[in-house]
Amino acid sequence: MQLSHQDFDALQNAILELYEYRDLENFRKGVPAILLKIIPADNFHWQEAQLNFRTKQVKTVDHFEAFPIDTRAFDGADAAVFAHPFTAHFMQTGVPTALKLSDFLTLTQFENSALYQEVYRHFQVRRALSTAIALSTNSGSSINFHSARGDFTERDRFITNLLRPHFDQAHRNARLNTQRAGTCSRPLAAYELTPREIEIAAWLANGKTNPEIAILLNISARTVEKHMEKILEKLGVENRTTAAVIIANSTSVGPKR
């Protein structure tokens, strides 16, 4: 499926906005509005849970949503996870793709189901689009779009699948940044960075790109890239965003101007 230019721009903007958050609280507050701008829905709901696939037990450990949800919905939600067609599909295929309720049930079948009576009617939901995020053997989370009106489209499914890895990474970044903010800072020297790496790291923390750093230090962009690879390796992180947070929280001085 191909996105229109308008949808592609909206997707790109949503991804950039997700990565802007540097702490978990603001991530949770800001994400619903970001995602509802690109996926038309009445509500957005994110849920994180502890899972036991052997005993089929579930316990919600965290959640947030765009608008308040009737708490009665949560009373039956955990018990219904392993009876949910989305869960059954994932357990059969192992593929965490975006799914619609209409993939499995007609609207009449859904409204006559125990799933609707015990869970979704409290959400005032007739249509849903969901995808699993960061599933493991003992935990998992999902992002869910709910509608009381028309069904979601294949365009909505496609965009949700494209957003999924970015939502996961941005959430991890925000959580890691929050955790690091609560710990004592360390000097960059503790990471065994060379003087040049410390200099480049300081410019990174100031928001400079590799080409900009190359100009500032009068070296090639390729040399900066090689140093950056070493910096990420020594800091034990996978991306520039997390590295910049560690560097900004360190006790080292900033770049020489």
Q: What Rg, from alpha-carbon coordinates, does the chain have?
A: 22
220 vs 120 pLDDT, higher one: 220
Residue 70 banded pLDDT, cuts 50, 70, 90: low
CATH number at residue 98: 3.30.450.80
pLDDT, one tens digit per residue, over 36-60 is 999 999 999 888 888 777 777 778 7
User: pTM of the prediction?
Assistant: 0.67
pLDDT of residue 219: 93
156 vs 2 pLDDT, higher one: 156
Residue 255 banded pLDDT, cuts 50, 70, 90: low
Last residue of a domain, one of 180, 196, 215: 180
Residue 5 has pLDDT above 70, yes or no: yes
pLDDT of residue 137: 61
Q: Which domain holds residue 70?
A: 5-180
pLDDT, one tens digit per residue, over 73-117 is 666 677 777 778 888 888 888 788 999 999 999 999 999 998 888
For 127-184, the DSSP string reads: EEEEEEES--SSEEEEEEEEESSSPPPHHHHHHHHHHHHHHHHHHHHHHHHHHHHTS-
pLDDT, one tens digit per residue, over 242-251 is 788 778 777 5
pLDDT, one tens digit per residue, over 179-214 is 766 655 667 777 888 989 999 998 988 888 899 999
Last residue of a domain, one of 180, 203, 237: 180
130/128 Cα distance (integer angstroms):
6
pLDDT of residue 71: 62
Q: If you average pLDDT over residues 123-144, what whole number do you get?
A: 82
Q: Which residues of 195-229 are buried (b: 16+ CB within 10 A; e: fewer)?
A: eebbbbbbbbbbebebeebbebbeeeeeebeebbe
Do 204 and 111 reside in the same domain of the chain? Answer: no
Do 9 and 102 reside in the same domain of the chain? Answer: yes
Do 116 and 165 reside in the same domain of the chain? Answer: yes
Residue 60, SS3 per DSSP: strand
Do 19 and 67 reside in the same domain of the chain? Answer: yes
Mean pLDDT score across all residues of the chain? 84
Last residue of a domain, one of 180, 202, 232: 180
Residue 223 has pLDDT above 60, yes or no: yes
Contact 244, 205 (CB under 8 A): yes
CATH number at residue 237: 1.10.10.10
Number of domains making up the chain: 2
pLDDT of residue 151: 93
234/257 Cα distance (integer angstroms):
25
